[in-house]
Amino acid sequence: MRALLACLLLLLSNVPARAQGSKPPNFDALAAEATTWLQEYLRIRTVNPPGNETEGAKFLQAVLAREGITSEILESEPGRGNLVARLPGTGARRPLVLLSHIDVVPADSARWRYPPFSGVIAEGAVWGRGAQDTKGLGIIELATMVALKRRGVALSRDLILVANADEEKGSTGSVWFTTHHADLLRNAEFLLNEGGENRMGADGRTEYYGLDATEKVPYWVRLTVRGQPGHGSQPTPGNAALRLSRVLGRIADWQTPLVLTPPAEAYLKALATREANPTYRAWLAAPAAALKDSAAVAWLTADRYQNAILRNTVTITVLSGSTNTNVIPAEASAELDVRLLPGQRPEDFLAQLRAVIRDTTVEITPLSKLRAARSSPVQGPVLDALTDAVAAMDPGTLILPKMLTGYTDSYDYRALGIDAYGIESWRTTDEISATVHGNNERVPVPEVRFGVEFYYRIVEQLAR
């Protein structure tokens, strides 16, 4: 009997802690570590340009090495490091990727209350460029991998941590990584990245948790008009700037066609479950029918986000003409920030644009490569894991499937056949969200604590 008991105890000692029903990680202690890591990470200047991401990658690598997790730094260009680490699973299921980017946008220290590369804790928050976008997410993902490794959780799938260079100036890091090292991501099923947005109201209550299943595709173009130059004191009908202005007026008045994609439909139907006004609720619950009703269309598109997910958008951004007030330019140009819905072909959009311009002499030059947006399924294990985490930590809060109107590195990974999702690690108010790419970027310390548990719950459920 004693021998049998001894054998049983020996077998139990080799069972991973989770399988034995042990307590979850000490999230308070993990959050304290993650906060310190975030401070140190923010102090590494990885402003893009020039990037200097290798230094940030070395910091992440050092933390992983202390935990016995091997990693590799692969440079897409000198000094532009991309980090990849793997926590092996049994291989029963396909790998899960955790993605962030190391580079950050510039910061004007004169406009910040605290130095943007100090990582200081002040006013209850960690301050620094990249705290929200996306060094904070990178640290939460790092802490998740570390916690799973420490606890010896038996994973059914490999967990792959990737931190890319150059997301902010063109995604060259992710393009290079997915082109030259796709073998490191072979057969990956899911990817979690920035996006989603978990919105907190001024009253401290969470309004919703977002799940980005797709994103619009940038298709930037330049319009060029050539004409007769001359002295500004004698107007000419061939003034290139004048002709361009007329073209831009037609573009500004253009209402691009409405298109209801599956992600937009899922978003609107989710909103319907919380809408108090019966008329609006009916429109949201049946968006396909609502888009045939002019009153419904006016109401739906009055919201900037809803308008952007229901049509291709065109924004006039860059204008160029004469450098002197008294000189009629020989050439005038404008650049358009075009964002295409998933499933929309650039060549079809260009045909529509030419019909609106109504001037065959206007030269249209694409500034972005041709590519098509891919959507990941809204329903499935990732939504289930997010739903369960919200139910445990913030029960009853709305979960919103969303379409990102900007773009992230997720596009390049979806092109490999990986279902990529934007899930943010913490909640933000309107005021905190406005600091991304702005002044005084920061993350409240309590939200770091929230984030380490929130992300751990999601990843463990997906990976175990």
pLDDT one-digit tens code per residue, 119-163: 999 999 999 999 999 999 999 999 999 999 999 999 999 999 999
The architecture in CATH of the region 217-257+314-371 reads: 2-Layer Sandwich (3.30)
Q: In this predicted model, what pLDDT tens digit does every residue of 236-272 receive, in sequence order?
A: 988 999 999 999 999 999 999 999 999 999 999 999 9
Residue pointed to by tokens 């209550």: 205
pTM given for the model: 0.89
Domain coordinates in residue numbering, the chain: 23-215+373-463, 217-257+314-371, 260-311
12 pLDDT above the threshold of 90 = no
- Closest by CA to 28, choosing from 456, 393, 448, is 448
| Beta-bridge mates of residue 125 | 122, 444
- Output the CA angle 343-348-351, nearest 5 degrees: 160
User: Is the CB of residue 315 less than 8 Å from the CB of residue 217?
Assistant: no
Domains 23-215+373-463 and 217-257+314-371 share a fold: no
Q: Does domain 23-215+373-463 have CATH number 3.40.630.10?
A: yes
Q: Which of 317, 54, 15 is nearest to 163 (CA)?
A: 54
Q: Give the amino acid at 357.
A: I
User: What angle do helix axes 27-42 and 135-151 make, rounded to 10 degrees?
Assistant: 140
β 125-127/121-122 pair status: antiparallel
Per-residue pLDDT at 4? 36
